[in-house]
Homo-oligomer: A and B are copies of this chain.
Amino acid sequence: MVTINENYLKLKAGYLFPEIARRVTAFAEANPDAPIIKLGIGDVTEPLPEACRVAMIKAVEEMGDRDSFKGYGPEQGYEFLREKIVRHDFQSRGCDITADEIFISDGSKCDCGNILDIFGHDNTIAVTDPVYPVYVDTNVMAGHTGPAREDGTYEGLIYLPISAENNFTAEIPDYKVDLVYLCFPNNPTGAAATREHLQQWVDYAHTHGSLLLFDAAYEAFITEDDIPHSIYEIPGARDCAIEFRSFSKNAGFTGTRCAFTVVPKTIKVKASDGTDVELHRLWNRRQSTKFNGVSYIVQRGAEAVYTEAGQTQVRKLIRFYLENARIIREKLSEAGIQTYGGVNAPYVWVKTPHGLSSWDFFDKLLHTCNVVGTPGSGFGAAGEGYFRISAFNSRENVETAMQRITEKFKV
Contact = CB atoms under 8 A, between A and B. Distances in A.
Q: Is chain A's interface secondary structure helix, strand, loop, or mixed overall?
A: loop
Nearest to A61: B53
A44 interface: yes
A286 B289 CA distance: 19
Contacts of A60: 48, 53, 56-57, 60
Contacts of A107: 291-292
Contact of A9 (B117, B211, B277): B277
A2 B179 contact: yes
Nearest to A49: B64
Given A2-B211, A118-B4, A271-B6, A71 B53 contact: no
A276 to B, nearest CB: 11
A405 to B, nearest CB: 22
B289 A137 contact: yes
A285 interface: yes
A311 interface: no
A69 B50 contact: no
A41 B72 contact: yes
A255 B63 contact: yes
Contacts of A56: 56, 60, 297
Given A1-B209, A47-B64, A119-B5, A257 B293 contact: yes
B254 A285 contact: no
Given A3-B269, A57-B57, 12 more contacts: A2-B123, A4-B118, A6-B271, A41-B72, A47-B64, A48-B63, A53-B63, A53-B64, A109-B290, A137-B289, A141-B286, A256-B295
7 contacts: A2-B119, A2-B178, A4-B271, A11-B285, A47-B65, A57-B61, A134-B289
